[in-house]
Amino acid sequence: MRTKKFAILGRVNRALKGAVAVWSFQFALALFLMLSVTITALGQTEAQSSTDSSLALTLDKCIQLGLEVNHSLLVQRESLIRASASRLGSWSSFLPGASARVSWSHSGEEGYSFSESGLTLSREYYSAGLSASYTIFTGGQNYFDLRNSYLSYRASEATLDETQAVLIYSIKTAFFGVISARQTEKNMQHALERTRDQMVLVTQRDSLGMADPTEVTQIKVSLAETELAALQAANARKKAEQSLLALLSYPLDVNLDLVEPQREIEHVEPLENYLSQALDYNPQVRTAEIALKQTKLSRLSSWGDYLPSASASYSYNWGDSELPGSFSEFDDEASWSVGISASWTLFSGTSRIYSLKYSSSNLREAEIGLAMAKQSVEVDVRDAYRAMTEAAARIKLAEARYENAQLNLTLFKEKFELGDCTLLELLQAELTLREAEAEKISAEFDYQTSIAELERLTGGGE
């Protein structure tokens, strides 16, 4: 009886184990399927987000990003930090110098040392000392060095401003380049649609026997040329976007969503205002002015070689075979000295004459350099000003031509449909519209870039 019960319990136990095994397998399979679906969904979501990633930017935002991440600008900022550190270091020549020393020695044999307490025999020896010095006068060199460090810092600031102005100009040019390229691509797509519509008309006329044999070949050539122009416009747009992304240090596969600014012709100030601002704030002129001040300082420093120099010093030394028991014992075994020294170079060959003549020549060269910088900036401002005024006039003319070309194309299309004009005349009207569109885009781009160039030259774009 008991054996039978054990047998029944064994079968129940095996059945339970089998059920548990089946359930475990089913649970593991369900878990695996859930994980697979989740991973696939996450991968699709990540791929979709990567594909749909876009960057919405205004012109001001582009400039802000460029100023934050541009490598050339970051390097120039580090140069300004070094110039600031050099400026701080130049103050050290106006401060005294001091040093202290402590030493201990142990010899293998006992030695004699003499002190106020008499002759002692010891293997130990202790010593300490303090020294200080101060340069009273060095012919004004310390002042010249300090002044030159401040001028070097200002020169680094001007170089940083120039690098920043060039970067802002490049970003503006690239930004408006993208907008122009996109508008060109859009116009070419419209032109392609019109050419395909014209292809349909020619095909219909040819099927009715109303088309000239050359019209079929002409429209085929026109369609192929338009398709090529549309492809070139798309490639130009991609290249323009890549140029802007590179300036912003962004991956080149990011989709740009630029917020196009309002296109308004600004009030044109007199040329004299731009010239005055450029001569006051242009980084190139400021750098030349600072260089002139530095050469003047260098020439003045050459005269300092003819002046004497003076310095003061102080030293305190203590040494004994035993450590002192109190501070008063230091004075018993110590020695100190105070001194003032002065020197004056009466003759040093021709080195001082050479230095004076060399600095005088550098001064004259710096004066010429400043005059050249001002003239160069003035020429650039005048050129940019003329380009801006011409571009503004071209925009008005291009808009008028564009409206006229649109109207002519509409009229010739109606005439062609009625058979009152040839396909060649229709294609000529289409070409005129494309040229008007291209001129309008070119004039607007030239106007924006000429304004950006004026801002760069006058310091207004910083």
The 10s digit of each residue's pLDDT in 268-294 is 789 999 999 999 999 999 999 999 999
Residues 6+ apart with CB under 8 A from 394: 439, 442, 443, 446, 447
Residue 316's CB: how many other CB atoms inside 10 A?
A: 17
Taking the C-alpha atoms of residue 76 and residue 71, their distance in angstroms, rounded to an integer, is 9
Token pair recorded at residue 112: 């004699």
In the chain, what is the straight-line distance between the N-terminal and C-terminal CA atoms, in Å? 103
Taking the C-alpha atoms of residue 208 and residue 194, their distance in angstroms, rounded to an integer, is 21
pLDDT score, position 16: 44
Kind of pairing, strands 118-138 and 309-320? antiparallel
Name the H helices within 208-282: 213-247, 271-281
Nearest alpha carbon to residue 66 among 283, 263, 243: 243
Judge whether residue 230 has pLDDT over 50.
yes
Taking the C-alpha atoms of residue 123 and residue 228, their distance in angstroms, rounded to an integer, is 99
pLDDT score, position 433: 94
Q: Token match 């900022």: residue? A: 77
Rounded CA Rg of the chain: 43
Residues 6+ apart with CB under 8 A from 69: 248, 249
- For residues 10 and 18, the answer to whether their CB atoms sit within 8 Å is no
Token pair recorded at residue 91: 């103050």
pLDDT score, position 211: 75
pLDDT digits (tens, 9 = 90+) for 110-130: 655 555 555 566 677 788 899
Tell me the residue type at 324. P
Strand positions, DSSP E, 12-166 = 54-57, 97-115, 118-138
Token pair recorded at residue 167: 């970067």
Q: Token match 């019209």: residue? A: 215
* Predicted confidence band of residue 385 (pLDDT cuts 50, 70, 90): very high
Record the pTM: 0.74
Nearest alpha carbon to residue 256 among 57, 4, 23, 11: 57
Between 366 and 210, where is the model more confident? 366
Q: How many CA atoms within 13 Å lie on the side-chain side of 379?
A: 6
- Look over the chain and give the mean of its residue pLDDT values, rounded to a whole number: 83
Name the H helices within 328-422: 328-333, 351-418
Taking the C-alpha atoms of residue 204 and residue 162, their distance in angstroms, rounded to an integer, is 63
Judge whether residue 331 has pLDDT over 70.
no
Taking the C-alpha atoms of residue 439 and residue 231, their distance in angstroms, rounded to an integer, is 19
Between 38 and 221, where is the model more confident? 221
Tell me the residue type at 426. L
Mean pLDDT on 367-373: 96
The CA-based diameter of the chain, rounded to the nearest angstrom, is 138
CA 97, 98, 103 angle in degrees (round to 5)? 150
| Separation in Å, CA 133 to CA 98, 136, 140, 335, 454 | 6, 9, 18, 17, 55
Taking the C-alpha atoms of residue 311 and residue 367, their distance in angstroms, rounded to an integer, is 37
DSSP SS3 for 132: strand
- For residues 335 and 254, the answer to whether their CB atoms sit within 8 Å is no
pLDDT digits (tens, 9 = 90+) for 21-54: 444 545 444 454 454 444 444 444 443 343 345 6
User: How many helices (H) and strands (E) would you count in the chain?
Assistant: 10, 6
pLDDT digits (tens, 9 = 90+) for 120-173: 666 777 888 999 999 888 888 888 899 999 999 999 999 999 999 999 999 999
Strand partners, 313: 133, 339
